[in-house]
Structures are given as structure tokens and as C-alpha cells.
């Protein structure tokens, strides 16, 4: 019997011990926890749009949107309300119930937040649930977005506290924790995860998950990104993470945060179908499809639909929960797919 009590007091040693379990034992425990809290054959699907691309002043070593790296990403201004609405309507016409918007800022100015709030209100007017990732927020900015109707805010921790300085120097770990606190205080739901495969150790992957699982409230969505190596970024050429180690990370995330949505985010394009199937078994129950995943591609929509049919997966149906909709993409007349948010300037 797997203990699926939701805890916030995990120790690093306990998390490391989960990573060290034999692979099949770990997947067995994770799948049992997954079944306890979720439909094991249902997956959420969301569409993510970059509403302001490139030109970010930060130095995140993984990110092609950083202005200091020559990655071929051209800086663009914030999209107009009309342009975003056109894309949101197209997503809704395809069956989307949640629309996620990402902007490459270190942190938005107050005037930027006013503009994004206008976009959020317009997208909400289409009947879509909304998520945004805009960088660091102040408490007042979080309140403004909440008042506009924003449902989820994404802000990843990226990695373990002790490895963070190897990847980012222009923003402190506490800055990220402070933004998450502002989001929770405003009454929005949090989407928060990290990136693996950046050269960190297994113990540091355990440190990332332990930090997430000991937050005052587990993130409602936990995106697990696999590094997408982009030429021109400092992490290009990093030794690739073993696919089974990525599956282990998904499984441990599921055990630590059994009620959260665990999302396969960036890097899914590089995974074969068998690895994705293992991830779904280990507890992943959320993906992106449709728009490009900010500045990196994601698997073709039709391929995703075919994979869902092969695995007998179905879309997570619309369920009212705590005043929001956990909803998804329903393919008209067929099995389709379905999910929630999970954006980040990294993925």
C-alpha cells in the first residue's frame, strides 16, 4: 500500500531515497499514487503563446530569449490585444479551454502589467481559462492580474538552490520564492517546476523536487522540463540526461506532490513515444500542444493525437474546482487530448 498523504515536510534524504529505488519499484509506487488522486488515463492539454518574445536582460544559461546570447531569436514587442485574441480564438476553435501566455521579461513594468491585464480580460471573455508567465511580480502586480481574472501564474524555480548559481546570476533564488508568495497571496494558482539535464547531479534534482514539495502550498501544476539545447546558449553541448533518469524525476515528483498536475513540458519533442508512455505511467498527466513552446518546438499535434489513441488516453473532462476550470482540449468527435497550463520562459 502506497502512502499518498500530502506532505510538506519531505527531507532531502527521503527524496534521494526515492530516486534510488529500483526503477520498477519506483514506477509501481508512483503509479499507485497517481491512481489514488487522478484518472490514470486522462491527460490535460494546453496551448501556449509567446506574447512578447526575446530581448530578456537576464543571463539564464538555458534560454534562447536572453538578449546577450546569439541564438537567432529576434526581440519583439508585446503583441496587441487583437493579435492575441485571434490566436486565442483559434485555440478555442480547436477545443482549448485554457490559454497560456508567456512574455520574456525579467519582470514587467507596471504599465506592462496593465496591458497584460487587458489581454487577460479579453481572453477570459472568450470563455477560456488563463495562465501567464511574465517574470518576477510585485504583490501589487499580482493583485492586478488576479483582478483581471488570471487563473494561473507560472514561475519556475528551475533547479536546486545550491545549483542555481551555476545557471543564473541576474536573479536570486529568493526572488523566485517571493514572486510565488505574491501569487499565492493574490489568490491565483501556481504553476511551478524546473528544468533537468542542465548538468546537475541526481542529488540536485532531488533538491529541486524537495524545494517544490516543501512550499507552503504544492503548486497546482508542476512542469518538468528537459533541457532543450539551443546553439548560442552556454548550456548548448551539455551531456544529455538519460531518458530513464527523466522518467525517475517524473515518478518522484508524483510521489512528493500526489494531487498536483505533473506536466511534460519542454523537451518532449526530443522524447520518443516509449519514453513518453513511461512518463504517463509514472504520473505525468499534462502536456502542451499546438503553438510552439515559446521559442522551442513541441511535437506535432497530429502525432500527439495518434499517440493518445495508441495509449488509450483521453482528455481530462471539464471539472469545476475551487472556482476555476481544470479543462482541456477536446477533439471534436474523437478521443482528443486535454490539459492545463505550465508555461515558463524556459519552457
Tell me the binding residues for [2Fe-2S] cluster: 100, 131, 191, 263
From the number of C-beta atoms within 10 Å of its C-beta (0-12, 13-18, 19+), residue 119 rates as: buried
> Active-site residue 341, yes or no?
no
Contact status, residue 137 vs residue 171, Cβ threshold 8 Å: no
Q: Active site residue: 29, 87, 98, 100, which one?
A: 100
Hunting for cell 526572488 — which residue is that? 175
Listed in sequence order, the DSSP H helices in the chain are: 12-19, 23-37, 81-93, 110-125, 139-148, 161-164, 173-186, 202-213, 243-256, 273-282, 301-310
> Active-site residue 56, yes or no?
yes
- State how far the Cα of 203 lies from the Cα of 285, in Å rounded to an integer: 25
> Active-site residue 305, yes or no?
no
Q: Active site residue: 29, 98, 191, 254, which one?
A: 191
Contact status, residue 158 vs residue 196, Cβ threshold 8 Å: no
The CA-based dihedral angle spanning residues 78, 82, 85, 87, taken in that order and rounded to the nearest 10 degrees? -70
Q: Active site residue: 29, 131, 205, 268, which one?
A: 131
Question: What does each C-alpha distance from 93 to 89, 319, 336 come to in angstroms?
Answer: 6, 20, 13
Q: Active site residue: 29, 56, 248, 254, which one?
A: 56
Q: Active site residue: 29, 63, 98, 341, which one?
A: 63
Binding residues for [4Fe-4S] cluster: 56, 60, 63
Binding residues: 56, 60, 63, 100, 131, 191, 263
Cβ neighbors of 153 (< 8 A, separation 6 or more) are 131, 132, 133, 137, 142, 145, 183, 188, 189, 190, 191
> Active-site residue 63, yes or no?
yes
- State how far the Cα of 293 lies from the Cα of 336, in Å rounded to an integer: 19
> Active-site residue 131, yes or no?
yes
Q: Active site residue: 205, 248, 263, 305, which one?
A: 263
- State how far the Cα of 163 lies from the Cα of 174, in Å rounded to an integer: 14
> Active-site residue 7, yes or no?
no
Question: What does each C-alpha distance from 304 to 45, 54, 85, 207, 241 come to in angstroms?
Answer: 10, 28, 25, 31, 23
Q: Active site residue: 60, 192, 337, 343, which one?
A: 60
Active site residues: 56, 60, 63, 100, 131, 191, 263
Amino acid at each position: 500500500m502506497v502512502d499518498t498523504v500530502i506532505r510538506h515536510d519531505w527531507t532531502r534524504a527521503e527524496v534521494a531515497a526515492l530516486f534510488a529505488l529500483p526503477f520498477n519499484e519506483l514506477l509501481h509506487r508512483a503509479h499507485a499514487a497517481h491512481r489514488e488522486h487522478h484518472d490514470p488515463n486522462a491527460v490535460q492539454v494546453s496551448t501556449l503563446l509567446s506574447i512578447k518574445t526575446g530581448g530578456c536582460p537576464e543571463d539564464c544559461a538555458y534560454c534562447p530569449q536572453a538578449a546577450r546570447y546569439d541564438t537567432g531569436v529576434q526581440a519583439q514587442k508585446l503583441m496587441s490585444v487583437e493579435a492575441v485574441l485571434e490566436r486565442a480564438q483559434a485555440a478555442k476553435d480547436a477545443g482549448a479551454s485554457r490559454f497560456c501566455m508567456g512574455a520574456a521579461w525579467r519582470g514587467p513594468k507596471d504599465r506592462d502589467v496593465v496591458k497584460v491585464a487587458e489581454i487577460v480580460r479579453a481572453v477570459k471573455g472568450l470563455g477560456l481559462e488563463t495562465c501567464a508567465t511574465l517574470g518576477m511580480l510585485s504583490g501589487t502586480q499580482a493583485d492586478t492580474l488576479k483582478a483581471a481574472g488570471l487563473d494561473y501564474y507560472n514561475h519556475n524555480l528551475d533547479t536546486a538552490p545550491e545549483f542555481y548559481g551555476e545557471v543564473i546570476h541576474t536573479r536570486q533564488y529568493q526572488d523566485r520564492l517571493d514572486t510565488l508568495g505574491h501569487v499565492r497571496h493574490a489568490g491565483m494558482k501556481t504553476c511551478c517546476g524546473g528544468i533537468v539535464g542542465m548538468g546537475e547531479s541526481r542529488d540536485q534534482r532531488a533538491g529541486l523536487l524537495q524545494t517544490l514539495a516543501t512550499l507552503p502550498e504544492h503548486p497546482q501544476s508542476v512542469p518538468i522540463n528537459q533541457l532543450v539545447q539551443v546553439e548560442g546558449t552556454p548550456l548548448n553541448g551539455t551531456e544529455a540526461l538519460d531518458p530513464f533518469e527523466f522518467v525517475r524525476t517524473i515518478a518522484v515528483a508524483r510521489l512528493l506532490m500526489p494531487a498536483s498536475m505533473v506536466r511534460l513540458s519542454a523537451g518532449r519533442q526530443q522524447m520518443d513515444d516509449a519514453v513518453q508512455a513511461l512518463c504517463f505511467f509514472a504520473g505525468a498527466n499534462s502536456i502542451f500542444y499546438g503553438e510552439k513552446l515559446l521559442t522551442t518546438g513541441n511535437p506535432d499535434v497530429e502525432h500527439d493525437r495518434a499517440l493518445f489513441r495508441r495509449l488509450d488516453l483521453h482528455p481530462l473532462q471539464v471539472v469545476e474546482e475551487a472556482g476555476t476550470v481544470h479543462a482541456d482540449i477536446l477533439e471534436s468527435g474523437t478521443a482528443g487530448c486535454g490539459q492545463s497550463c505550465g508555461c515558463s520562459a524556459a519552457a
